[in-house]
C-alpha cells in the first residue's frame, strides 16, 4: 500500500469521525431542547433506538405519566450521518398504539424501546402493546 492510499484511508476515517460527532451533538441538542421545553411535573422524556443493516432510527418521546399519552415526539431516521431530528406528530396520542403509528419498522422498534424505558422508569405503569403480549 502506498503512502497516498494510507493518507486517503486516514482522511476518510477522520471525516467519518467528525460527521458522527456532529450527529451526536445534534442528538444532545435535541434532548436538551425537549427537556427545557417540556420541563413540567408529571412529564417523562425517554429515548429509544433501532439499528438495522442499512437504516436506523432514534426517537425521543415526551410522555405524560398521569394520562398515559405521548405529548410530543421527535425522530431521526436514516442511513447516514446526515440524518436529523424532526417533529413526528403522528406519534402523539395514547401510549397504547404508538408503535403502530410509527410508520416504519425501524421507528416502531425505537418506539418500543423508548416505551420499555418509560415502563421501567414509571414502575411498569406504562407499557407498549408488544410488551403486554409477551
Beta strands in the chain (DSSP E): 43-51, 56-64, 69-78, 86-87, 93-94
Enter the C-alpha cell of residue 103.
410508520
pLDDT score recorded for residue 126: 54
What is the value of pTM for the model shown? 0.78
Q: Say if residue 66 is exposed, middle or buried (CB neighbours under 10 Å; 0-12, 13-18, 19+).
A: exposed
> How does strand 69-78 pair with strand 93-94?
antiparallel
pLDDT of residue 9: 94
Cell digits for 51? 439499528
Give 10-residue mean pLDDT values along the chain (134 residues).
Answer: 91 93 90 89 88 86 88 87 86 87 88 88 56 46
Report pLDDT for 124.
Answer: 52
Amino acid at each position: 500500500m502506498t503512502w497516498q492510499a494510507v493518507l486517503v484511508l486516514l482522511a476518510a476515517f477522520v471525516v467519518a469521525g467528525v460527521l458522527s460527532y456532529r450527529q451526536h451533538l445534534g442528538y444532545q441538542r435535541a434532548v436538551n431542547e425537549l427537556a427545557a421545553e417540556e420541563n413540567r411535573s408529571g412529564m417523562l422524556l425517554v429515548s429509544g433506538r433501532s439499528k438495522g443493516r442499512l437504516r436506523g432510527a432514534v426517537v425521543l418521546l415526551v410522555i405524560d405519566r398521569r394520562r398515559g399519552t405521548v405529548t410530543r415526539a421527535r425522530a431521526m431516521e436514516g442511513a447516514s450521518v446526515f440524518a436529523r431530528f424532526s417533529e413526528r406528530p403522528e406519534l402523539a396520542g395514547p401510549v397504547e398504539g404508538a408503535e403502530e403509528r410509527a410508520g416504519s419498522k425501524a421507528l416502531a422498534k425505537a418506539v418500543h424501546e423508548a416505551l420499555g424505558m418509560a415502563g421501567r422508569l414509571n414502575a411498569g405503569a406504562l407499557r407498549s402493546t408488544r410488551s403486554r403480549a409477551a
